[in-house]
Amino acid sequence: MTAPAAALADVHKRFAGGAFALDGLSLAVAPGEVLVLLGTSGSGKTTALKTLNRLVRPDRGTVSVLGRDVESWDPIALRRSIGYVIQEVGLLPHLTIAENVEMVPRLLGWEPPRRAARGRELLALAGLDADRFAPLRPRQLSGGERQRVGLARALAADPPLLLMDEPFGALDPLTRRRLQDEFRDLQRRLGKTVVLVTHDVPEALRLGDRVAVMAAGRVVQEGTPAEIRDHPFPGFVQEFVAAALP
């Protein structure tokens, strides 16, 4: 087995005055793989995701990205090597779509012509007409369009690893379905490693190479979508999957 692109080993995290958000969590994602963290809200999946780009620092345990402990990374360099997509608010509301998409290249110090070209290329890749969308602001776009922009922005500096937190959350079912399909195609084409957080069981089963079901800060079952669908562990996983599937 190749070295994982990202891994958590026995990670604990407790927020001030709260219960454990992460309680001995261990995970690994292989290069080019899509790992879905599936769970209800409060299961610790978003916290787990944020340990990978050091927005959250564990109390105990190790987190490594691209073969290096995140504590040995410069946090700024780490975050610039990782694409980060979040639901809705991820776009900076006062900047244009072009400025949003070109943000990471700008932070990396690319020359304006190069990052403008990259921005147009990515908008096209995400299925948006660059001429029309570049000068607009996020609030002028529909939810689906905003999510496309968010994905384009995360891919801008061609990072090997993408972190996605409920990326298709606030969309109508039709748009969600179309974006999921497009994302899956794009991921296969680009070969990015992806860690995706969702509470939506069909989405997890459709997008994941592997799915880790989380509850109370731990993984309760991990396997391929087929394993999770056909052989859910009795108890929580079984109920959770059964409730979501017809």
Q: Where do contacts with other proteins occur on this chain (CB under 8 A)? A: 53, 55, 76-80, 82, 84, 86, 89-95, 103-104, 107, 153
Minimum CB–partner distance for residue 226 and other proteins (Å) = 32
- Cβ-based nearer residue to other proteins, 19 or 76: 76
Residue whose CB is less far from other proteins, 150 or 202: 150
150 close to 85: Cβ distance less than 8 angstroms: yes
CA distance 115 to 120: 9
Q: Which is nearer to other proteins, 3 or 77 (CB)?
A: 77
Of 4 and 150, which CB lies nearer to other proteins in the complex structure?
Answer: 150
Closer residue to other proteins in complex, CB, 19/89:
89
Structure tokens at 32: 């080019």
Min CB(109)–other proteins separation in Å: 11
User: Please, what is the minimum distance in Å from the beta carbon of residue 210 to other proteins?
Assistant: 24
Query: CB 187 → other proteins: shortest distance, Å?
Result: 20
**Signed CA dihedral, 72, 195, 218, 226: sign only:** negative
d(CA 88, CA 14): 27
Residue located via tokens 């700008």? 106
Q: Which is nearer to other proteins, 80 or 177 (CB)?
A: 80
- For every residue of 196-227, DSSP letters joined together read EEES-HHHHHHH-SEEEEEETTEEEEEE-HHH
Minimum CB separation of residue 103 from other proteins in Å reads 6
Q: What tokens were used for 18?
A: 């709260």
Give residue 11's identity as a one-letter amino acid code: V
* Tokens describing residue 214: 């989380």
Q: Between 98 and 228, whose beta carbon lies closer to other proteins?
A: 98
* Cα atoms in the 13 Å half-sphere on the side-chain side of 83: 25
* Nearest-approach distance from CB 66 to other proteins, in angstroms: 14
Closest separation in Å from C-beta 53 to other proteins: 6
Q: Give every CB contact of residue 169 below 8 A, 6+ residues apart in sequence.
A: 87, 88, 198, 200
* Torsion of the alpha carbons at 121, 208, 85 and 11, rounded to the nearest 10: -140
